[in-house]
């Protein structure tokens, strides 16, 4: 069993055991700031109609509807840039098209840019040995195990090092643990996706320059492109994470895609050499077929369309670059898949297939363009009535009745406070707790209150009351502080009856800077509203976490403990317990009622 796997299992067991305090072996310190509304020094891209760039508004409108109504798509943001101009941008409610969003592994491609810049400056070469660069950290163990590891192996995900993403929860010494870790295969002989390869590239940038990678990129990438509202998390040692942790706006991600589309040139300045753009986007190594990509370059995936390439992050974060038609598409979403095999990218591919070639320009069509704008307004939640859209009158009547039902039920709940029988579930989705190393204190009580015409729900977590304005059948934006980190979330409540005639209040809390959403269903046992049952879920979450658990235990299949667990059938029980941890059911009682069964 590798050194990082035991802490992972220990973390999982603590979560299953419903422990919430001091369960992380990684030192926590608040990092993430609030999203700034200051646009000073920001340089926006030009805007244009789709027709002016050779694409019909009707085609774009159909694409938006297909993405919105896809069975497994959970769209957050979309931007399409053609010939350097934005022809479509949409934030699918409650997600704001101008807000930054977690990029997950998409940022690996930006880490690759930093490495390319170091090479352009003559400070680094592909064949440089990692141990020769990180001399301060190497020791006898690392020399034995990583003596042949080069920068190129890190770039192509072919290091073979076993210290992978799970190492992020195993402790604070990520560089040391990576260098001392065992290897699965000789470097350069096979592809194995590992976010710690990207982290090590970031560590190399810091070792060579004396700056974090974020600082290094500021005068070389962020400032020339007019990117000002961007944030990148660091490890406990202050090294930019490199493989994840970047929050970036869709337009700024599009700028970086456009920079590559222009062969590294921005305006009249060459920010990255054309040679590096060509090399990094060229096929270097074959990847497993199930990943859905045609190969891997230097921190960049090969796309389905000939000559295209992708900056890809899990759950639907992408910059798709189509050089042959001068197009960049940026997506942010909350899908439950890790790589390219997903409905969202299948839909995009069907609209911009291998054979699709847009016109140079199309005649202006005000009617179709205006209809596209109305569709965007509806998807962004800015237009409630859909008199011009599918069954508009019926939808309006249904919306009115749902809103009235919810408002009346909240009136009954006004002033009621429920004490939680079990206090281990947090407002923060479990998947985000792990990603940001920010674990819950556990909700102690839930309080409903009306102020004027607005309704609020107060979740008392630890000693902090998260007072959230609840949108009635619509979304309301809120800001909460979680251990001194600031997060934006939108909240919506809907009331209904279940099949047994019980009152049910559904609360959705979408963390609009991330890919996850917390769903809370409160079932009221009796008409007196004295006892509640709460079912907690998150999206995405269950499938992905269980898949990760299966992967971890699978890699330790020959360890005596894991082998014994599997032989006795305990693994199935462990998966059931983990699912109950991700989707717990808790009880609450009206204040002053004894907390008894």
Is the per-residue pLDDT at 595 higher than 50?
no
pLDDT of amino acid 541 = 66
Percentage with pLDDT > 70 across the chain? 89
pTM over 0.85: yes
Q: Is a pLDDT exceeding 70 seen at residue 14?
A: yes
- Helix boundaries (H) for 225-333: 250-261, 274-280
Q: Give residue 145's pLDDT.
A: 79
28-42, 136-150, 196-210, 354-368: the lowest-pLDDT one: 136-150
- Judged by average pLDDT, the poorest of 71-80, 158-167, 193-202, 232-241 is 158-167
With pLDDT > 90 as the criterion, what percentage of the chain qualifies?
71
What local confidence, expressed as pLDDT, does residue 382 receive?
84
| Residues 434-450 pLDDT 10s | 899 999 999 999 999 99
| Domain ranges across the chain | 103-253+267-302, 414-590
Strand-pair category, 464-472 with 485-497: parallel
Tell the burial category of 595 from Cβ atoms under 10 Å away from its Cβ (0-12, 13-18, 19+).
Answer: exposed
Q: Answer yes or no: is pLDDT of 549 > 70.
A: no
Reported confidence tier of residue 100, pLDDT bands at 50, 70, 90 = very high
Question: What token pair was written down for 1?
Answer: 């069993």
Per the prediction, the chain carries an average pLDDT of 89
Q: Using 50, 70 and 90 to split pLDDT, how confident is the model at 291?
A: confident
At 16, the pLDDT band (50, 70, 90 cuts) reads confident
**Res. 550: pLDDT tops 60:** no
Query: Cα separations (Å) of 144 from 26, 180, 185, 223?
Result: 27, 9, 14, 42
- For residue 218, the model assigns a pLDDT of 98
* 142-194 confidence digits (pLDDT tens): 767 788 999 999 999 999 998 888 888 888 999 999 999 889 899 999 999 99
Taking Cα atoms as reference points, which of 120, 122, 152 lies closest to residue 220? Answer: 120
Q: For 52-78, give the DSSP string.
A: GGT--HHHHHHHHHHHHH-SS--EEEE
- Selection from 167-171, 255-259, 391-395, 573-577 with the highest mean pLDDT: 255-259
Predicted confidence (pLDDT) at residue 507 exceeds the cutoff of 60: yes
Q: From the CB of residue 192, how many other CB atoms can be counted at a distance below 10 Å?
A: 17
Could you give the CA distance from residue 420 to residue 443 in angstroms, rounded to a whole number?
7
CATH number of 103-253+267-302: 3.40.710.10
pLDDT tens digits, residue range 466-479?
999 999 989 999 99
Mean pLDDT across 342-348:
91
Most confident segment among 172-176, 227-231, 429-433: 227-231
Q: Is the pLDDT of residue 385 over 80?
A: no
HEC per residue, 276-298: HHHHHCCCCECCCHHHCCCCECC
Report the candidate in 143, 150, 149 with the shortest Cα–Cα distance to residue 128.
Answer: 150
Residue 306 pLDDT: 92
CA angle 461, 463, 467 (to 5 degrees): 55
Q: Which residue has the higher pLDDT, 507 or 25?
A: 507
pLDDT in the model for residue 25: 86
Q: Is the pLDDT of residue 325 over 50?
A: yes
Q: Find the distance separating the first CA and the last CA of the chain, reported in whole Å.
A: 42
């Amino acid at each position: 069993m590798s050194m990082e796997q035991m802490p992972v299992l220990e973390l999982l067991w603590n979560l299953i055991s419903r422990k919430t305090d001091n369960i992380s072996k990684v030192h926590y310190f608040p990092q993430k700031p609030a999203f700034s509304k200051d646009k000073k020094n920001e340089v926006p891209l030009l805007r244009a109609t789709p027709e002016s760039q050779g694409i019909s508004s009707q085609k774009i409108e159909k694409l938006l509807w297909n993405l919105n109504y896809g069975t497994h798509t959970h769209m957050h943001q979309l931007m399409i840039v053609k010939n350097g101009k934005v022809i479509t941008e949409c934030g699918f409610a409650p997600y704001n098209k101008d807000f930054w969003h977690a990029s997950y592994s998409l940022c690996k491609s930006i880490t690759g840019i930093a490495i390319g810049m170091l090479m352009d400056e003559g400070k680094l070469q592909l064949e440089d040995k990692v141990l020769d660069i990180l001399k301060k950290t190497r020791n006898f163990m690392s020399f034995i195990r990583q003596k042949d590891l080069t920068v190129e192996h890190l770039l192509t995900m072919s290091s073979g090092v076993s210290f992978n993403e799970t190492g992020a929860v195993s402790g604070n010494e990520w560089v040391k643990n990576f260098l001392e870790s065992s290897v699965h295969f000789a470097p350069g002989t096979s592809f194995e996706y590992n976010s710690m390869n990207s982290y090590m590239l970031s560590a190399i940038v810091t070792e060579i320059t004396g700056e974090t990678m974020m600082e290094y990129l500021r005068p070389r990438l962020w400032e020339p492109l007019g990117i000002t509202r961007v944030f990148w998390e660091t490890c406990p040692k202050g090294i930019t994470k490199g493989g994840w942790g970047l929050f970036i706006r869709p337009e700024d991600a599009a700028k970086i895609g456009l920079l590559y589309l222009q062969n590294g040139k921005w305006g009249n300045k060459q920010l990255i050499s054309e040679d590096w753009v060509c090399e990094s986007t060229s096929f270097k190594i074959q990847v497993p077929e199930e990943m859905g990509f045609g190969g891997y370059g230097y921190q960049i995936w090969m796309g389905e369309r000939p000559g295209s390439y992708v900056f890809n992050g899990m759950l639907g974060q992408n910059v798709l670059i189509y050089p042959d038609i001068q197009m960049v598409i940026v997506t942010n979403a909350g899908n439950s898949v890790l790589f390219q095999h997903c409905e969202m990218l299948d839909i995009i591919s069907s609209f911009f297939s291998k054979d699709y070639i847009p016109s140079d320009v199309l005649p202006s069509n005000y009617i179709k363009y205006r209809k596209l704008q109305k569709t965007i307004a509806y998807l962004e939640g800015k237009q409630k009535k859909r008199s011009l859209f599918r069954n508009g009158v019926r939808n309006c009547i249904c919306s009115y009745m749902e809103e009235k039902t919810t408002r009346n039920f909240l009136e009954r709940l006004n002033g009621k406070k429920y004490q939680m029988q079990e206090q281990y579930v947090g407002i923060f989705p479990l998947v985000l707790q792990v990603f940001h190393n920010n674990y819950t204190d556990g909700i102690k009580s839930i309080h409903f209150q009306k102020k004027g015409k607005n309704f609020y729900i107060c979740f008392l977590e630890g000693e902090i009351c998260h007072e959230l304005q609840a949108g009635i059948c619509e979304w309301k934006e809120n800001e909460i502080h979680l251990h001194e980190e600031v997060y934006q979330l939108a909240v919506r409540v809907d009331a209904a009856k279940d099949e047994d005639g019980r009152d049910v209040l559904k609360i959705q809390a979408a963390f609009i800077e991330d890919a996850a959403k917390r769903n809370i269903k409160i079932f009221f046992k009796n008409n007196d509203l004295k006892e509640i049952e709460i079912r907690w879920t998150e999206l995405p979450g269950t499938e992905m976490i269980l898949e990760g658990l299966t992967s971890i235990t699978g890699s330790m299949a020959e360890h005596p403990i894991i082998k014994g667990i599997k032989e006795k059938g305990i693994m199935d029980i462990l998966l059931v317990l983990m699912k109950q941890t991700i989707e717990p059911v808790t009880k609450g009682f009206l204040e002053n009622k004894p907390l008894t069964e």
